[in-house]
Each structure stands twice: as structure tokens, then as C-alpha cells.
Amino acid sequence: MTSAPRAAQLPDLLDAAKTGPGGVKVPYPIGIRELVVLRTAWLGPAMLRLTLGGPGIAGFQSHVPEEHVRLVFPDERGELRLPEQNGDVLRWPRPMPVSREYTVRRHDPTAGELDVDVAVHPGGVASDWAVAVEPGDRIHVAGPPGGFVVPSHYDRYLLAGDLTALPQIARYLEGLPPAATGWAFVEVRDRSEEIPLTAPSGVTVRWVHRGSVPAGTGDDLERAVRSVELPAGERTFVWVAAEAGVVKPLRRWVRDRGVPTGDFRIVGYWKRGVADFDDEE
């Protein structure tokens, strides 16, 4: 599953992945579209929701909880360079345009709306734009290039991440089977950054407060995940996303516990000092 399928093939690929042995990426036909900012809403002091829509939302693809889009911005000279449509894929210019990747938090095809939640941090290209944007402003959105499908047959689920992963964790929790059991850990600065989450009753949600420790430098999230005892004889799907250095030891942790490759996904969503870092395993 390395090339984008034609639209007619996608339902069969998704059905096969949802009943398959483990988590797997399914590519979608990829598009580039210009969307309109319909409204914005602060979810907390460090999380801003953008609701996008307009005529360009027609045909947007969203099928599973884990999907991402790229917001494309003008470069330092004010030039907006966009990828070109090439069949069911995009051809990106070189050097790469300025863009940032975000979770598809919600897609409502009936209302024609797409929600993107932005973790706000001063000096970030997308973050600064999101704070200043007003309804009626426009943004080019590429993707999603595909979705990561997690079958619903696991005995337990373990989700963990920092503020940048909170939108994805929230969508995963909403999409889990009602009878699902497991754990979710979210690292935030303090109680003020917590937001309401909807999770099955069998999933324990724990907020990990890092306090004054700068994001991506402590081991609070790692220690929280390591506190979990994965039950012997059961299959647990493990999903972790945070700063690249934080998640690295957790890759070793799942392997040391014999978790099969298809039963975990550990992603570096960002890296301190590096713009637009994405270190997917």
C-alpha cells in the first residue's frame, strides 16, 4: 500500500485493513484545495480550533480516526508555491513549500466542515497564523494522503502523547469500540491545558502535568507509559506521539515487551529546534 489507490478501490482497502491482523496505513487519492476559515474557538490557553469549509471542501476524504492534512503557507518572500495535481497524487515543488501537518480532528461532510486543532506556541508559522486568522480568510490544505487503520479486535489500547498529540488522542478515544478497555496519557503543562475528552468507560484517562519543565525535555510521559503492565496473553495496541527524543525510549520499551510491529505506532511529532519535523516509524 505505497501508492494512492483510485477512489473505487478505497472502500475495499479500508474494509480489509479494519479486519486485518494489525495497524496499517491505507493511502487515499490526494488533493489540494483552498478552504475558508468559518470560525475559530479556544479550547484552552494553548489549543485553538479552526473550522474550515467553503466550496473547496467538496470531495474531502476522511475515513478513519488517524488522518493528517498539510496547511500550506507563503514563504518568507510572501510567495505561495503549491503542489500540482498529478492524477491521484500531488507533485510538490522543490524546495518544499512552507507547510505544517495537523490531525483531521473532525470532518462533517453534511455541514461541509473540517476541524483542525492547533497547539499554540509563539513563533510557529501555523500557530501565529491561527491566532491572527479571521473568519473569511483562506488557506490551502493538502491531503489527507491516507489514514492509519487500527482494527477493533484488540483486547486493550494504550494511547499517549503531549499537547501536539492531544487532537489525535481525542479522535482515537471517540472512535474506539464502546466496550474498549485501556489507558490514555496526555502530557500538558497543568490543569489549565486539560480539555474534555470522550472515552469508553473502560479506558482510564490520565493527565500528566509537567509543570515548569519545558515541553519535550522531561520524562513524565515516559514514566507514565512505563507504569502500565501489559497483560500477558492479551493483545494491546500501543500508540504514542510526542517530541522525538521523548518517544525514542518508548520504542525500546514496546519491543522489550515483545509487542509485535503491527501492534504499535510510535511517532515523533516534533523535535526541539527543528521546524516541521516528522519522524514516523
- Assigned CATH class of 152-270: alpha beta
Bridge partners (DSSP) listed for residue 41: 49
Domain boundaries defined on the chain: 6-147, 152-270
**Secondary structure element (H or E) that encloses residue 203, with its range:** strand 202-209
The answer to whether the CB of 239 falls within 8 A of the CB of 269 is no
Distance CA 117, CA 165 (A): 10
146: Cβ contacts below 8 Å, ≥ 6 apart: 1, 4, 25, 26, 27, 28, 67
Q: Indicate whether this model's pTM tops 0.85.
A: yes
Same fold, 6-147 and 152-270: no
Output the furthest CA–CA distance in the chain (Å, rounded).
Answer: 57
Specify the 3-state DSSP secondary structure of 193. helix
3-state secondary structure of 116: strand
> What is the C-alpha to C-alpha distance for residues 115 and 21, in angstroms, rounded to an integer?
31
With CA atoms as reference, report the closest residue to 142 among 32, 53, 41.
32
Task: Identify the DSSP state of 271.
Answer: B
Rg, C-alpha atoms of the chain:
19
**Tens-binned pLDDT, residue by residue, of the chain (281 aa):** 445 566 788 999 999 999 999 999 999 999 999 999 999 999 999 999 999 999 999 999 999 999 999 999 999 899 999 999 998 899 999 999 999 999 999 999 999 999 999 999 888 899 999 999 999 999 999 999 999 999 999 999 999 999 999 999 999 999 999 999 999 999 999 999 999 999 999 999 999 999 999 988 999 999 999 999 999 999 999 999 999 999 999 999 999 999 999 999 999 998 877 766 666 54
φ and ψ at residue 270, rounded to 5 degrees: -160, 165
CATH 3.30.70.141 fits 6-147, yes or no: no
Beta carbons of 237 and 154 less than 8 angstroms apart: yes
